[in-house]
C-alpha cells in the first residue's frame, strides 16, 4: 500500500479516541447483537449438530462498518435504532466506547434490538439468520431529525438491513447534500431501482449480491467484471465487487482493475466485508484516491479474518499501518 500522511497517525493506538484523526463518516444502518455458534460444519436442513462454543458479540452491518471506520481513523457518527433492552444498551455503549457519535441512535420502546444468529464452521465459512427487530423501525422521520448529523459527513455509508424506503431517503438526502455516498446492497434479493444505483457514488456488493442484482454469475474475476459492467449499464456510477480470497474488482470511469487479496490463514470471515467497507470509507474521507483506499480497506480486512467474531476482529489503525 502506498504510504500516505495522516495527521496524528503516529499517535494511533488501541485507544479509539487516538485513532480518530481526520475525515468524517456517517453510517446509516443496522445494529444487531450477534449470537455466534461455532461447529465443525454448517448444519443440513433438519439436522441437529453439537457446537463447540457460543458467544454474544456486538454486530449488525451498520454497527460493524461504523466501528471499522472509527478504529481505522475516521470520525464516525451512527444513525440507527436499538431496543429498550440489555442488548440495545450494550450496543450503544460499545459504539460510544469506540468514540462514535451516537446522537443519531434512537431507542424503540416496543420492539427488541435486532439479533443475528451466526454459525461458523471449521473452515471459517458462516451462515447467518437476521431478525431485524428495532432496525425495522428506522424511518425517514429519524433521518430528518438527525439531518445535522448527515450534514457534517464527508462520506455516507448505507446498507440494506434497515427499511428500504428509509435507505432511499438517506441516499437522496446525502446526494442532495453533496456527500460521497457508498451503498453496500446487503442483504439483497434482486435488482435495485435505477435511481438507487444512480444516487450512490459507489455500489459495493459481494459476489453473491452482485449475482442477485444482475442475475449473472460473479464468483470469478472475469464474471465479476461482467456483472459490474452490467450494473453500470443499469445506472450504477462506480461498482466495486468484493470476492473474498479472490480479491476485489472495481469498474469505474477510470477503467477495470482487479486487486488480488493477501494470502492469510483465515479463522472467521464474519466481518471481513464490513471491515473493508469501513476502511474504504475512512480512506475516502481523507481524500485518498480509489486505488489507495481499496488497498487500505483490503489490508484491514485481511487482518480481520485472522481473528474470531465480528467487531472484536476489526483492527485498529496502528495495526494496519505497522
Residues with catalytic function = 274
What whole-number distance in Å separates Cα of residue 317 and Cα of residue 154?
19
C-alpha to C-alpha distances, 153 to 23, 76, 173, 228, 294, nearest whole angstrom: 8, 9, 12, 27, 20
Picking from 69, 263, 267, the residue whose alpha carbon sits closest to that of residue 182 is 69
The answer to whether 60 and 158 have CB atoms below 8 angstroms apart is no
The answer to whether 286 and 42 have CB atoms below 8 angstroms apart is no
The answer to whether 83 and 133 have CB atoms below 8 angstroms apart is yes
Give the containing element (helix H, strand E) for 317: helix 317-321
The DSSP string of 224-283 is: HHHHHHHHHHTT-SSEEEE-GGG-EEEEETTEEEEEPPPP---S--TTHHHHHHHHHHHH
Amino acid at each position: 500500500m502506498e504510504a500516505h500522511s495522516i495527521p496524528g497517525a503516529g499517535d494511533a493506538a488501541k485507544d479509539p479516541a487516538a485513532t480518530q484523526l481526520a475525515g468524517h463518516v456517517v453510517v446509516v444502518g443496522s445494529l444487531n447483537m450477534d449470537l455466534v455458534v461455532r461447529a465443525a460444519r454448517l448444519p443440513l436442513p433438519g439436522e441437529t449438530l453439537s457446537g463447540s462454543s457460543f458467544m454474544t458479540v456486538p454486530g449488525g452491518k451498520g454497527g460493524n462498518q461504523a466501528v471499522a471506520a472509527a478504529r481505522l481513523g475516521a470520525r464516525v457518527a451512527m444513525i440507527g435504532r436499538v431496543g429498550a433492552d440489555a442488548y440495545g444498551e450494550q450496543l450503544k455503549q460499545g459504539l460510544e466506547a469506540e468514540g462514535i457519535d451516537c446522537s443519531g441512535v434512537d431507542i424503540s420502546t416496543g420492539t427488541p434490538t435486532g439479533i443475528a444468529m451466526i454459525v461458523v464452521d471449521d473452515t471459517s465459512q458462516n451462515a447467518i439468520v437476521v431478525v431485524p427487530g428495532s432496525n425495522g423501525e428506522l424511518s425517514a422521520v429519524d433521518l430528518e431529525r438527525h439531518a445535522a448529523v448527515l450534514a457534517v459527513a464527508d462520506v455516507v455509508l448505507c446498507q440494506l438491513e434497515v427499511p428500504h424506503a428509509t435507505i432511499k431517503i438517506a441516499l437522496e438526502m446525502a446526494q442532495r447534500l453533496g456527500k460521497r455516498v457508498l451503498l453496500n446492497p446487503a442483504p439483497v434479493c434482486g435488482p435495485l431501482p435505477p435511481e438507487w444505483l444512480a444516487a450512490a457514488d459507489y455500489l459495493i456488493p459481494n459476489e453473491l449480491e452482485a449475482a442477485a442484482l444482475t442475475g449473472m454469475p460473479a464468483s470469478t474475476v472475469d464474471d465479476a467484471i461482467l456483472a459490474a459492467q452490467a450494473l453500470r449499464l443499469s445506472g450504477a456510477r462506480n461498482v466495486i465487487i468484493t470476492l473474498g480470497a479472490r480479491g476485489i474488482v472495481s469498474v469505474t470511469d477510470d477503467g477495470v482493475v482487479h486487486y488480488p487479496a493477501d494470502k492469510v490463514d483465515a479463522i472467521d470471515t464474519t466481518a471481513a466485508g464490513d471491515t473493508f467497507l469501513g476502511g474504504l470509507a475512512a480512506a475516502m474521507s481523507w481524500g485518498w484516491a480509489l486505488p489507495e483506499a481499496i488497498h487500505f480497506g483490503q489490508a484491514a480486512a485481511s487482518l480481520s479474518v485472522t481473528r474470531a467474531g465480528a467487531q472484536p476482529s476489526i483492527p485498529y489503525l496502528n495495526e494496519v499501518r505497522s
